[in-house]
Amino acid sequence: MPKMTFIKSAVKFSEFPVHPLKEIAVAGRSNAGKSSIINVWAREKIAKVSQTPGKTRLLNFFGVGKNYCLVDMPGYGFASRGGDEVKSWKKMIEGYLSQRPQLVGLMLVIDMAREWQDDEEAIAQYVMKHDIPVAVVLTKCDKFSKNDIEKAITRMKLQSRLEDVFAASSQTKKGCDEVEEFMYKVWVKS
Ligand SMILES: Nc1nc2c(ncn2[C@@H]2O[C@H](COP(=O)(O)OP(=O)(O)O)[C@@H](O)[C@H]2O)c(=O)[nH]1
Ligand SMILES: [Mg+2]
């Protein structure tokens, strides 16, 4: 993977970077392991590994060389809480996902120990409604046996009805390159 660089943080459309790069959104529940896998792809600590889950409220844009741009979305999983905070979060996410013509894919980061839930279904449906493909990376696979990894992938494919489900570990780096290769070859280059 080419060198990753931080471009900028943004909340609203007028702040999004102006560039010709295709973008891939990376989304996941707080604590799913999103920052960790981005750091593996970057080969440095470019994204903060959160001590305070759910604190990031910004879209962070990272350039992957001159090839494409990864957009780190704020963690979700508090939709049930309601209130203004959720409303502004939803507005930002939906604003980004619906108004970005260069968005070519959504990578959903899910802890392998967890199931596909309503939040994942909602964000996936929303993105696919805009004709943007969705894939899943099940993280923290270092905690599971080879057999259980296979089972988790099969289960996630059934639950999500998505074809592209990967397993990865940011700790051992297993599977991380395959996910990056998929994003580049299938979403960026084609
Ligand atoms: N065992 C293991 N722990 C991980 C892995 N990825 C992340 N974690 C841990 O999970 C927690 C949340 O990770 P983080 O990347 O901040 O998640 P985020 O909130 O989705 O950005 C941290 O304590 C990480 O050290 C992994 O692949 N394996
Ligand atoms: Mg994070």
Distance separating alpha carbons of residues 51 and 53, to the nearest angstrom? 6
- Residues whose CB is less than 8 angstroms from the CB of residue 4 and which lie 6 or more positions away in sequence, other chains included: 41, 42, 43, 44, 46, 62, 63, 64, 65, 70
Atom of ligand 1 at shortest range from CA of 50: 16
| Strand extents, DSSP E, the chain | 4-10, 23-28, 59-64, 68-72, 103-111, 134-139, 165-167
**Encoded amino acid at 109, one letter:** V
Nearest C-alpha to atom 7 of ligand 1 is from which residue? 33
Answer whether 68's CB lies under 8 Å from 184's CB. Answer: yes
pLDDT in tens, the chain (190 residues): 778 999 999 988 899 999 999 999 999 988 999 999 999 999 888 887 765 555 567 899 999 988 999 999 888 765 555 667 677 777 888 889 888 999 999 999 999 999 999 889 988 998 999 999 999 999 999 999 999 999 999 999 999 999 999 999 999 999 999 999 999 999 999 8
Distance separating alpha carbons of residues 104 and 134, to the nearest angstrom? 9
Q: Which residues line ligand 1 (CB under 6 A)?
A: 28, 30-36, 49-50, 53, 75, 139-140, 142-143, 169-171
Strands 4-10 and 59-64: antiparallel
pTM above 0.85, yes or no: yes
Other C-beta atoms closer than 10 Å to the C-beta of 131 total 6
Answer whether 139's CB lies under 8 Å from 170's CB. Answer: yes
Q: What domains can you pick out in the chain, each with its CATH number?
A: 4-189 (3.40.50.300)
